[in-house]
């Protein structure tokens, strides 16, 4: 793979600094009637400029024009040679290509008295395109990708920004068809990129952007480079697509994917919530009955013996020593009646059920069990858990 040719676009290194000044003789608005003749003059700066002089008119989305405007610096004239609706950035150069600077406003061509001055329509077999749509914002240090089709290489890139001291010119390598420009233009301006080939022919489609950002132009060492699609991977939208229809398709796809993903996420969260709630419920129930007393033995019943008629001595639960006793006295068994020689069944005393009413920490009584204090039971809350349970706010 061929190495990229790195071009450092330091102001003044690729185009000479402004050597002279120019301006229209009469006050103009930013609206220029098509085919009107506008007088202008050139005044010396660091140099006087070498005649003849030329007007470079960079048109957004179209081919620029280079028009001879005269040899006498004090009596020059330019004819508006772009069709109605064109947006123009204007700059003047002398015979050596020395810059007289770029004018401040962006001009618009409006209807005039004639269109006879307009040149034939430019062929579309030599075109420059960009990955940045016309009129979009380009931040400081952002790349501006220019792709060239047709023409005769090597190509030259001309970048004109409003109120700049000169037009930046770069000659590409003979095999280069892509140029990536790192934006170092002043923010708050507008900029057009134009391409010419080795025969001096201008490409159509000149991209146009608005500049934004800061005046920190070091750009962390990033430099403009020339190359090909293989060395500078760039993807462009289809050339014959309508912006409104093509842009809506990826947007609709993105929205659909986002809605579907959100729905799937909500379903997953709902399932996790149900699982978490059930797990917490089981954990609470386990904590509630952890350490419960063993089942209380069921006492024997007094059943008359079919052989002797005597009753069996019942099993009597002890009345003390049980950790479940609340201190209720246990009646002692009565003795057998001496009159009939038969034993009376003893009073069977069973230890009270496990004292659920004494369970602390706000646990509820089980169904059917009364509170020992007769008070109202508090709602159950697992005080050992950290933080509120599911659904708490």
Q: What integer pLDDT is reported at residue 136 of this predicted model?
A: 97
Q: What integer pLDDT is reported at residue 367 of this predicted model?
A: 53
Tell which residue, 284, 291, 299, has the closest CA to residue 355: 291
pLDDT at 162 over 70: yes
The whole-number average pLDDT for the span 331-360 is 45
Out of 157-166, 320-329, 365-374, the most confident range is: 157-166
252 pLDDT band (50/70/90 cuts)?
Answer: low
Contact between residue 88 and residue 33 where contact means Cβ atoms under 8 Å apart: no
The whole-number average pLDDT for the span 95-120 is 95
256 pLDDT band (50/70/90 cuts)?
Answer: low
Q: What integer pLDDT is reported at residue 276 of this predicted model?
A: 74
More reliable by pLDDT, 256 or 306? 256
199 contacts: CB under 8 Å, gap ≥ 6: 151, 152
How far is the C-alpha of 281 from the C-alpha of 275, rounded, in Å? 10
pLDDT at 127 over 60: yes
Cα radius of gyration (the chain):
48
For the chain, the domains span: 20-110, 123-159+169-237, 287-364
20-110 to CATH, choices 3.40.50.2000, 1.10.490.10, 2.60.40.2840, 3.40.50.300: 2.60.40.2840
Are 20-110 and 123-159+169-237 equal in CATH topology?
A: yes
Q: What integer pLDDT is reported at residue 183 of this predicted model?
A: 95
The predicted-structure confidence for 220-251, as pLDDT tens digits, reads as follows 888 999 999 888 866 544 434 333 344 444 54
Residue 234 CA to its chain's centroid (Å):
21
Q: What integer pLDDT is reported at residue 231 of this predicted model?
A: 87
How far is the C-alpha of 183 from the C-alpha of 171, rounded, in Å? 17
Averaged pLDDT of the chain: 75
Q: What integer pLDDT is reported at residue 382 of this predicted model?
A: 40
Q: What integer pLDDT is reported at residue 269 of this predicted model?
A: 82
Q: What integer pLDDT is reported at residue 271 of this predicted model?
A: 80
The predicted-structure confidence for 177-235, as pLDDT tens digits, reads as follows 999 999 999 999 999 999 999 999 999 999 999 999 999 999 988 899 999 988 886 65
What percent of the chain is predicted at pLDDT more than 90?
50
More reliable by pLDDT, 261 or 391? 261
Q: What integer pLDDT is reported at residue 387 of this predicted model?
A: 45
**CATH class as words, domain 123-159+169-237:** mainly beta
Tell which residue, 337, 369, 58, 67, has the closest CA to residue 207: 58
Give the per-residue SS3 of the chain: CCCCEEECCCCCCCCCCCCEEEEECCCCCCEEECCCEEEEEEEECCCCCCCCEEEEEEECCCCCEEEEEECCCCCEEEECCCCCCCEEEEEEECCCCCEEEECCCCEEEECCCCCCCCCCCCCCCCEEEECCCCCCEEECCCEEEEEEECCCCCCEEEEEECCCCCCEEEECCCCCCEEEEECCCCCCCEEEEEEECCCCCECECCCEEEEECCCCCCHHHCCEEEECCCCCCCCCCCCCCCHHHHHHHHHHHHHHHHHHHHHHHHHHHHHHHHHHHHHHHHHHHHHHHCCCCCCCCCCCCCCECCCCCCECCCCCCCCCCCCCCCCCCCCCCCCCCCCCCCCCCCCCCCCCCCCHHHCCCCCCCCCCCCCCCCCCCCCCCCCCCCCCCCCCC
The predicted-structure confidence for 276-299, as pLDDT tens digits, reads as follows 777 776 766 555 555 544 454 444
Q: What integer pLDDT is reported at residue 123 of this predicted model?
A: 85
The predicted-structure confidence for 136-156, as pLDDT tens digits, reads as follows 999 999 999 999 999 999 999
pTM: 0.58
The predicted-structure confidence for 2-41, as pLDDT tens digits, reads as follows 334 444 343 333 445 788 999 999 888 999 999 999 999 9
List the single range of 104-108, 212-216, 352-356 with lowest mean pLDDT.
Answer: 352-356
Q: What integer pLDDT is reported at residue 58 of this predicted model?
A: 98
pLDDT at 316 over 60: no
Q: φ and ψ at 284, to 5 degrees? A: -65, -45
């Amino acid at each position: 793979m061929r190495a990229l040719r790195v071009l450092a676009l330091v102001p003044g290194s690729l185009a000479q600094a402004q050597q002279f000044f120019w301006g229209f003789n009469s006050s103009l608005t930013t609206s220029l009637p098509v085919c009107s003749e506008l007088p202008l003059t050139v005044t010396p700066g660091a140099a006087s400029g070498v005649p003849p002089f030329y007007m470079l008119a960079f048109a957004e989305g179209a081919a620029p024009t280079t028009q001879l405007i005269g040899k006498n610096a004090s009596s020059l004239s330019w004819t508006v040679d772009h069709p109605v609706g064109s947006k123009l950035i204007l700059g003047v150069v002398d015979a050596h290509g020395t810059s007289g600077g770029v004018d401040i406003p962006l001009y618009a061509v409006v209807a005039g008295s004639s269109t006879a001055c307009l040149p034939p329509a430019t062929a579309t077999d030599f075109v420059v395109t960009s990955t940045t749509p016309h009129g979009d914002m380009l931040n400081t240090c952002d790349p501006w990708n220019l792709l060239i089709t047709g023409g005769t290489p090597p190509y030259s890139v001309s970048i004109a920004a409003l109120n700049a001291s000169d037009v930046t010119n770069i000659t590409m390598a003979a095999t280069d068809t892509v140029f990536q420009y790192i934006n170092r233009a002043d923010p708050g301006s507008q900029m057009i990129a134009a391409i010419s080939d080795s025969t001096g022919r201008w490409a159509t489609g000149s991209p146009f952007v608005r500049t934004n950002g800061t005046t920190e132009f070091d750009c962390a060492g990033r430099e403009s480079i020339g190359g090909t699609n293989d060395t500078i991977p760039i993807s462009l939208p289809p050339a014959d697509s309508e912006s409104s229809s093509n842009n809506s398709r990826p947007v609709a796809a993105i929205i659909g994917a986002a809605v579907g993903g959100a729905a799937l996420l909500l379903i997953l969260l709902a399932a996790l919530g149900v699982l978490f709630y059930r797990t917490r419920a089981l954990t609470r129930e386990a904590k509630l009955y952890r350490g419960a007393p063993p089942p209380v033995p069921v006492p024997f019943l007094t059943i008359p013996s079919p052989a002797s008629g005597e009753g069996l001595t019942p099993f009597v639960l002890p009345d003390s020593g049980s950790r479940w006793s609340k201190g209720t006295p246990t009646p002692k068994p009565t003795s057998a009646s001496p009159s009939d020689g038969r034993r009376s069944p003893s009073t069977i005393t069973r230890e009270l059920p496990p004292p659920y009413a004494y369970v602390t920490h706000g646990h509820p009584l089980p169904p059917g069990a009364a509170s020992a204090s007769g008070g109202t039971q508090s709602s159950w809350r697992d005080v050992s858990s950290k933080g509120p349970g599911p659904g708490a706010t």
